[in-house]
Chains A and B, each alone.
Chain A
Amino acid sequence: AIQMTQSPSSLSASVGDRVTITCRASQGIRNELVWYQQKPGKAPKLLIYATSSLQSGVPSRFSGSGSGTDFTLTISSLQPEDFATYYCLQDYNYPYTFGQGTKLEIK
């Protein structure tokens, strides 16, 4: 199975900061990378699919980039509602695998 490694595992930041989360695949996955946001007690929410396509209704401060094995999620200016845990998911081959998550906390 493809292993997805996220970094950092946790991150403290302030409202207005620019934040970048990285996700590395153990083998090439083309652009088949998805990002989710999850808040405590809730289901994950789709943010970005196919590496860089913004899901409808998601604010434009979220963006994604990368290809092959290295991917990034960037939040250009953190808002209070963005403090959550973020997961990447590879949907290149089976079994689909998630990263271990990055918990974004308020500084």
Chain B
Amino acid sequence: QGQLVQSGAEVKKPGASVKVSCKSSGYTFTGYWMHWVRQAPGQGPEWMGWINPQSGDTKYAQKFQGRVTMTRDTSISTVFMELRRLRSDDTAVYFCARDGVIGADAFDIWGQGTMLTVSS
């Protein structure tokens, strides 16, 4: 069925960078795009972008262009999301989510989330 396991919580200072990992298991890693979604405390989710694990192609929300990079390492079935020049309003839970429904962009498997706190 598949599972996504993310790296642990992070605390960063403003201006720093963070890199979150998302390790896949139980399905063909290169067969499904992976999206990143974040959710600030008490807020709705916010879509950040996707990566195609097979080709490495990416698409980012314009809001994050220039600050975010999504990469993958097929040898360990893991995708990464790096966010740079962190601000306090980047404090949120970051989720990876598999685009697993054929013919529709729908996220059927989610990681457990990684809490990022940005504070001086």
Chain A contacts to B: CB under 8 angstroms: 32, 34, 36, 43-46, 49-50, 53, 55, 87, 89, 91, 94-101
Contacts and interface: CB of A to CB of B under 8 A. Distances in A.
A44 B107 CA distance: 9
B106 A49 contact: yes
B44 A91 contact: no
Given A95-B62, A95-B63, 4 more contacts: A43-B113, A89-B47, A95-B47, A101-B44
Interface residues of B, number: 22
Contacts of B61: 94-96
Given A43-B113, A46-B108, A96 B44 contact: no
Contact of A49 (B44, B45, B104, B112): B104
A83 B95 CA distance: 22
Given A53-B104, A55-B101, A95-B63, A43 B112 contact: yes
Nearest to A92: B105
A100 B44 contact: yes
A91 B104 contact: yes
16 contacts: A36-B107, A43-B110, A43-B111, A44-B95, A46-B101, A46-B108, A50-B104, A55-B101, A55-B106, A91-B104, A91-B106, A95-B62, A96-B105, A97-B47, A99-B44, A101-B44
A51 to B, nearest CB: 10
B95 A34 contact: no
Contact of A44 (B45, B62, B101, B103): B45
A94 B105 CA distance: 12
Contacts of B46: 98
A36 B97 CA distance: 12
Contacts of B106: 34, 46, 49-50, 55, 91
A21 to B, nearest CB: 14
Interface in B44-58: 44-47
